[in-house]
Structure 1
Amino acid sequence: MAILSYINACWGFGILLSSGVVRACLNIESEWAFKIPFCIQWVWPPLLIALIWFAPESPFWLVRQERYADAEHSVRRLTTAQYFSEEDVKRNVAMKIHTTELEKNMSAGASYLDMFKGVDRRRTEVSLMVFAAQLLSGQNLIGQGVQFFQQAGMAVQASYDLNLALNAMFVVGTFVSWGLLTRFGRRTLYLSGLATMAAVLLCIGGMGFSNSTTAKWVSGALLIFLNLAYNSTLGPVCYTLVAEISSTRLRAKTIALSRVAYQLMNIICGIIVPRQLSPAEWNWGPKSGLFWAGSAILTFVYTWFRIPETRNRSYGELDLLFEHRVPAWRFAKTKVDQFNLDERSGVPAETPMMEEKSDLKEDVAHTEYARK
């Protein structure tokens, strides 16, 4: 969970570093003002290649290749012996074997077409929207921070200084999300994040109707808070959700297609937002917040009806919940026993699938391995 959400912090470190380099080069009066930021990027490829080379392989991928001993070795590398015994390692791999076999019974093959068939169609749709929601929430205004600040009436140097504070929220927000993820569900954080961002965007839009200096600085401060809210909820939780919603057999393809959806939405926003802020085009300035507040509200409605709660669920349990078409708002309260299945049909043999939990502790035994 923390590793998946840490992806967002990695984006933040890069964005913060790049904005710091640009700020440092702001007063250079030569062609090196733009050459230095480009040249510094060549530092990173050797470091990334080294990290990828020594990274452990996915235990799930090794299980699908029937390399069970290698899967156990990979689990050992990814866990701490003090808290994860040798027996825990074997049980963890056994759970992955069981989940893989369960998914094979549900659907054979692993092509991109399978993502739009049967149960996986819903999982694909939700995964695509989880990534698209990052931009539909109004986050794209953050990417145009310098232009936003200048159109709000701030001086050039002040706009770059505030942009540093704005981009620092990528890292700070991710660290905050680690605490939130241990206490609240993914769906809860997504809904609360969208609601908060919609409210902040409405305030930013309202500030656009005032020409006072105070209103300009308030709109800038609100944009920084908007980035903090985003990176405490939607930003890092997105990576956790997509990894949990997609089936293990189609996960790589689902994530790849989800990123395509994100980039397509990014292109659209990259065309719209600069025109909203530019005085030579639509000249909306901070009033653009009203447009994206509406977008965030619509995304909130979609999230309520379609994005499920995946916290405290094993992959096998999620497979069954999707297989039985459980509504998104009932995922958290539906009791599942993935180890009590009819051998022929792969569905629960004795207890009803749609039984409400009377006590969260009853579900601990079923999610023990996944939480470890």
Structure 2
Amino acid sequence: MAVLNKSLVPRNSKAVCLLLTAASGFMATTIGYDGSMMNGLNILPSYTDYFSLTTTTLALNTSAVWLGGCIGGLFYGYVVDAIGRKNGMFLAAAFTTFSAILQAASQNIAMFVIARIFIGFGTSASGVAGSTYLAETLPHNWRAWGLGIYYDFWYIGGLLSAGITYGTAQMESTWAWRLPSAMQGFFSILCILILPFIPESPRWLIHRDRHEEAIEAISLAYSDGDHEDPIVLAQYKEIVDTLKFEVESGETLSMVQMMKSKGARKRTLLNVSVAVISMLSGNNIISYYLGTMLDNAGITDSTTQLQINIILNAWCLVICLSGTYLLERVGRKPLAVVSTALLILFIFIIGGLTAAYGTSTNTAGIYGTVAAIFLFQGSYSIAWTPLTMTYPAEVLNFSIRANGMAVNTFFANGIGLLVTFAFPYALTAIGWKTYMINGAWDILELAFVIFFWVETKGKTLEEIDELFDGVKHSDVPDLEAIMNGKADLSNLIVEGEGFDAEPTQISVEPSKKAD
């Protein structure tokens, strides 16, 4: 198991937090790159002609990535719990790089589909490891930003991919689609290069009784490496107390644990709800079949479609960054409610405009449809892009976090497989009615968020336990109160190394960072 090399990790907490976010974000870039790349490839004649694609093989080539994602979701949580969050990220990134090369070298549909399955496995494994790692390692006041930006990188990948496929569209050889495929592995390489410069998850280290390394990891994230900072000591004790409670309560790092108690079942339900809503809101139609949508709307020129793909990704990137900013100010639940309500409005508008102007030459109607598509994707991006990894990782406690994120990945990829395979048939068979059906489903999603979600902003992962269990499993004051200088730490008692060690009282002075 890799041990933290203190000489490589910066002694500046802001730098550490930025590197943590970047390492995980580069892995999410690959996912976004893939979605936009397939959008571009599905528009390129050099790709569709090379494989002689039919509706069935078009759907198969596109949706195979989700099958690989389902496989990763079945067991990669166990891997991340066993070997650590960082090592889990390394394996996932290395496998994704290999898969991208295999896809670029594809000679037939079978080879392309196998490569797509491998890429799906690698990106889903990256999602399990990266989201778990960020949630457990970033300070709580960075968590919304870090996890939100983590999935905002989806659109950075999407924008780069849209630009690359637009640039290679003029190539007359198969490199028009092979080059974008090969570039998919670049971001995983960047992630691997950053890993030596960031610490392991302190929660995983404490679970493995590596307490000295855990304190070092917390101090690097919170206090520029100062082990005696009261915020560091308080966070360490809060984690130790909570994990000790979980161990003494018989909680295990297993899938079964997610169904053992009422609190665990509610956590799991909320976790899965994000996977379902993020995949079934209608966004996947646009993410993977923008070309078909634009055909139905009356825009059939491939160059124009590729240009719209670029602009759409740039638009969504700006919007999701704005949504990430709002997560910690507005809150997770209110932002999700507003976003979902807007999705309902705009998907019905898309359906109506497509029905009215899809087969016409009315320029205003056609571009009105394009505007509605932009507004729909913006409405999705402002909440569901940053929430996709933020909310699940927050509501899951340590004993089920890695496996819970794996379950989230399984459901997301399973539903992704269903919709990306089914939507081409739906768009061909019933056209604009597809949007109306999806809009009716979005109404049910809105009702679920309103009545079942709980708010998590401003709390550490351990403090969120109180929302589900009715009690906090540590007597440490809330960290937000400590950081605002509103908590008395004069009697803070921090346990020695190991869960069975005798507690020792540590005298602390008020921290400048807490003011």
TM-score (norm 2): 0.61
Aligned to 1:197: 343
Aligned to 1:140: 284
Aligned to 1:297: 443
How far apart are 1:195 and its partner, in Å?
Answer: 0.6
Change (3 A) 1:19 1:69: same
How far apart are 1:184 and its partner, in Å?
Answer: 1.0
How far apart are 1:236 and its partner, in Å?
Answer: 0.6
Q: For 1:310, what is the secondary structure of its paired residue?
A: coil
Picking from 312, 321, 327, the partner of 1:175 is 321
**In 2, Cα distance between the equivalents of 1:13 and 1:288?**
28
How far apart are 1:193 and its partner, in Å?
Answer: 1.0
Aligned to 1:160: 306
Aligned to 2:334: 188
Q: Calculate percent identity across the aligned residue pairs.
A: 24
Aligned to 2:181: 38
* 2:268 is aligned with 1:124: yes
Picking from 425, 429, 446, the partner of 1:282 is 429
Change (3 A) 1:34 1:188: same
Aligned to 1:345: none
Decide whether the 8 Å contact of 1:202 with 1:289 is kept in 2: yes
Decide whether the 8 Å contact of 1:139 with 1:227 is kept in 2: yes
Aligned to 1:50: 193
Aligned to 2:158: 15
Decide whether the 8 Å contact of 2:238 with 2:474 is kept in 1: no
How far apart are 1:80 and its partner, in Å?
Answer: 5.0
Decide whether the 8 Å contact of 1:11 with 1:170 is kept in 2: no
How far apart are 1:85 and its partner, in Å?
Answer: 7.4
* 2:222 is aligned with 1:222: no
Decide whether the 8 Å contact of 1:136 with 1:299 is kept in 2: no
Aligned to 1:101: 244
Aligned to 1:267: 417
Question: Structure 1 counterpart of 2:202, which letter?
Answer: P
Change (3 A) 1:289 1:83: farther
**In 2, Cα distance between the equivalents of 1:164 and 1:84?**
47
How far apart are 1:298 and its partner, in Å?
Answer: 0.9
Decide whether the 8 Å contact of 1:13 with 1:170 is kept in 2: no
Decide whether the 8 Å contact of 1:174 with 1:236 is kept in 2: yes
Decide whether the 8 Å contact of 1:126 with 1:307 is kept in 2: yes
Query: 62-71 or 261-270: which moved more?
Result: 62-71
Decide whether the 8 Å contact of 2:275 with 2:409 is kept in 1: yes
Aligned to 1:4: 147
Change (3 A) 1:107 1:185: farther
Query: 315-324 or 206-215: which moved more?
Result: 315-324
Gaps of 5+ in 1: 325-335, 342-363
Question: Structure 2 counterpart of 1:148, which letter?
Answer: M
Decide whether the 8 Å contact of 2:152 with 2:385 is kept in 1: no
* 2:351 is aligned with 1:208: no
RMSD, aligned α-carbons:
2.6
**In 2, Cα distance between the equivalents of 1:213 and 1:366?**
56
**In 2, Cα distance between the equivalents of 1:226 and 1:159?**
17
Alpha-carbon deviations, 1:189-212, whole Å to 9, x = none? 111111111111111111122222
Aligned to 1:360: none
**In 1, Cα distance between the equivalents of 2:226 and 2:283?**
39
Aligned to 2:400: 250
Q: Aligned pair count? A: 335
Aligned to 2:253: 110
Aligned to 1:312: 458
Aligned to 1:332: none
Gaps of 5+ in 2: 1-143, 485-513
Q: For 1:319, what is the secondary structure of its paired residue?
A: helix
Alpha-carbon deviations, 1:233-277, whole Å to 9, x = none? 011122111111101121001001111000000011112222232
Picking from 262, 282, 296, the partner of 1:151 is 296
Change (3 A) 1:80 1:214: farther
Q: For 2:355, what is the secondary structure of its paired residue?
A: coil
Change (3 A) 1:80 1:200: farther
